[in-house]
């Protein structure tokens, strides 16, 4: 059974789909048995594609971008091995939904995996300038090596 990772932001149209596509490419390149997807804490954008600025940012950097937004459901805690919040508000929302301590222990902040991160939140670019999407991409990419180290360790311990 593959290791399952999901990224969670507010509406699942900016930060979490960007993280999903960036990390998916890296796990595929390494041939890791990992499934990657994303969702949001809110319902506002369910069924919508990713924000066009997020799509453009991903494509410029050579990533895929096909996406439909969905809302995270409490029943999904059993489905995932690692649930990655993009900011502390999402982390708090997810902890509220967690049915028990074991489920809550699966929740991490993305920037925890970046040893150089001065702040743990990936700022929401939605109401910001277009360059904010590039900053989000850079923050996600900076966390990828540490995240992949963690995933490889989890896979090794499971095997």
Q: What is the pLDDT of residues 110-123, one digit of tens each?
A: 999 999 999 999 99
Q: Does position 2 have pLDDT exceeding 80, yes or no?
A: yes
Query: What average pLDDT does the segment 72-81 reach?
Result: 97
Q: Would you please indicate which residues are annotated as catalytic (active-site) residues?
A: 9, 15, 124
Cα 38 to chain centroid distance, Å, stands at 6
Tally of structural domains, the chain: 1
CATH number of the domain at 128, please.
Answer: 3.40.50.2300
pLDDT grade, residue 44 (50/70/90)?
Answer: very high
Predicted confidence at residue 158, as pLDDT, reads 84
- The structure tokens 């809302």 sit at 71
Are 3 and 82 in contact, with CB atoms under 8 Å apart? yes
Predicted confidence at residue 74, as pLDDT, reads 96
Question: How many Cα atoms occupy the beta-carbon half-sphere of 50 within 13 Å?
Answer: 25
pLDDT grade, residue 130 (50/70/90)?
Answer: confident
Cβ of 136: how many Cβ atoms within 10 Å?
Answer: 25
d(Cα 11, Cα 140) in Å, to the nearest integer?
A: 17
Torsion angle defined by CA atoms of residues 34, 4, 123 and 99, in that order, rounded to the nearest 10 degrees: -170
pLDDT grade, residue 29 (50/70/90)?
Answer: very high
Domain carrying residue 100: 3-158
């Amino acid at each position: 059974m593959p290791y399952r990772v999901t990224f969670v932001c507010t509406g699942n149209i900016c930060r979490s789909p960007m993280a999903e596509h960036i990390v998916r490419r890296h796990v595929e390149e390494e041939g890791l048995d990992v499934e990657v997807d994303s969702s949001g804490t809110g319902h506002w954008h369910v069924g919508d594609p990713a924000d066009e600025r997020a799509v453009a940012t991903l494509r410029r950097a050579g990533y895929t971008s096909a996406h439909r937004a969905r809302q995270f459901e409490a029943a999904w805690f059993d489905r995932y091995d690692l649930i990655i919040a993009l900011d502390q508000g999402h982390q708090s929302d997810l902890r509220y939904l967690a049915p028990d301590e074991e489920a809550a222990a699966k929740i991490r902040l993305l920037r925890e995996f970046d040893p150089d991160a001065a702040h743990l939140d990936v700022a929401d670019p939605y109401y910001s300038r277009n360059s904010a999407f590039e900053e989000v991409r850079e923050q996600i990419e900076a966390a990828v090596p540490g995240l992949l180290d963690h995933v490889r360790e989890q896979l090794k311990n499971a095997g």
